[in-house]
């Protein structure tokens, strides 16, 4: 496969996300991480900060790049000449949500596939929301996020 899109909010990126990125990059020539911007959604970090955190977290990877986009992810995949999008699945509730989204995307463009990768057990409970809640209450998230992200979270919640 030439190109795969990995869309998400990544607010912030976690080691679970990085695991999905590292596994997906081996399935394609280029992996595009799409930081999705949704004006309806409140994020802790700006679009620029999220892109920066991801770029620093993946600088060791060759065939991966980061973009920030808004709109439909299936349209992004289409415009990027991607054949597929990848989504990580941690639990049954993720699957139910992702199945609905993948089905809608398939109706919008039957040529774009959705690939589900199951989270490794050590990341099955890790979410950006949980990381932010722990960090907000001054808990240790150093085993859940890259060092640079841990530093950004500490900086954000010290204020």
Decide: 36 and 62 in contact? Cβ < 8 Å: no
Respond yes or no: is residue 90 known to be catalytic: yes
With bands split at pLDDT 50, 70 and 90, how would you rate the model's confidence at 159? low
Q: Mean pLDDT score of the chain, rounded to an integer?
A: 95
Domain assignment of residue 76, yes or no: yes
Catalytic residue among 23, 56, 75, 90: 90
Q: Evaluate if residue 57 carries a pLDDT over 80.
A: yes
Respond yes or no: is residue 60 known to be catalytic: no
* Residue range(s) defining the domain that contains residue 14: 3-123
Query: What pLDDT does residue 40 have?
Result: 84
Domain assignment of residue 46, yes or no: yes
Domain assignment of residue 72, yes or no: yes
Query: What does the pLDDT average to over 42-56?
Result: 96
Q: Evaluate if residue 38 carries a pLDDT over 90.
A: no
Find the CATH number of the domain harbouring 103: 3.40.50.620
Domain assignment of residue 137, yes or no: no
Query: What does the pLDDT average to over 19-31?
Result: 97
Domain assignment of residue 91, yes or no: yes
Locus of tokens 């991480």? 33
**Distance between CA atoms of 2 and 43, rounded to whole angstroms?**
31
Three-state DSSP class for 137?
Answer: coil
The DSSP H or E segment spanning 65 is: strand 64-70
Catalytic residue among 57, 128, 132, 152: 128
Query: What pLDDT does residue 39 have?
Result: 84
Respond yes or no: is residue 41 known to be catalytic: yes
**Distance between CA atoms of 90 and 121, rounded to whole angstroms?**
8
Respond yes or no: is residue 127 known to be catalytic: no
Query: What does the pLDDT average to over 87-95?
Result: 91
């Amino acid at each position: 496969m030439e190109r795969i899109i990995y869309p998400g909010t990544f607010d912030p990126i976690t080691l679970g996300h990085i695991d999905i990125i590292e596994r997906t990059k081996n399935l394609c020539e280029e992996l595009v991480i799409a930081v999705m911007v949704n004006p309806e959604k409140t994020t802790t970090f700006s679009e620029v900060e999220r892109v920066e955190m991801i770029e620093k977290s993946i600088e060791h990877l060759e065939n991966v790049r980061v973009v920030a986009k808004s709109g439909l992810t299936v349209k992004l995949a289409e415009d990027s000449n991607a054949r597929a999008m990848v989504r990580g699945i941690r639990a049954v509730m993720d699957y139910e949500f992702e199945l609905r989204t993948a089905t809608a995307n398939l109706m919008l463009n039957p040529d774009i596939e959705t690939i589900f990768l199951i989270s490794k057990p050590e990341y099955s409970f890790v979410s950006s929301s949980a990381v932010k809640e722990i960090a907000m209450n001054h808990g240790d998230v150093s085993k859940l996020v890259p060092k640079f992200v841990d530093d950004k979270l500490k900086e954000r919640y010290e204020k």
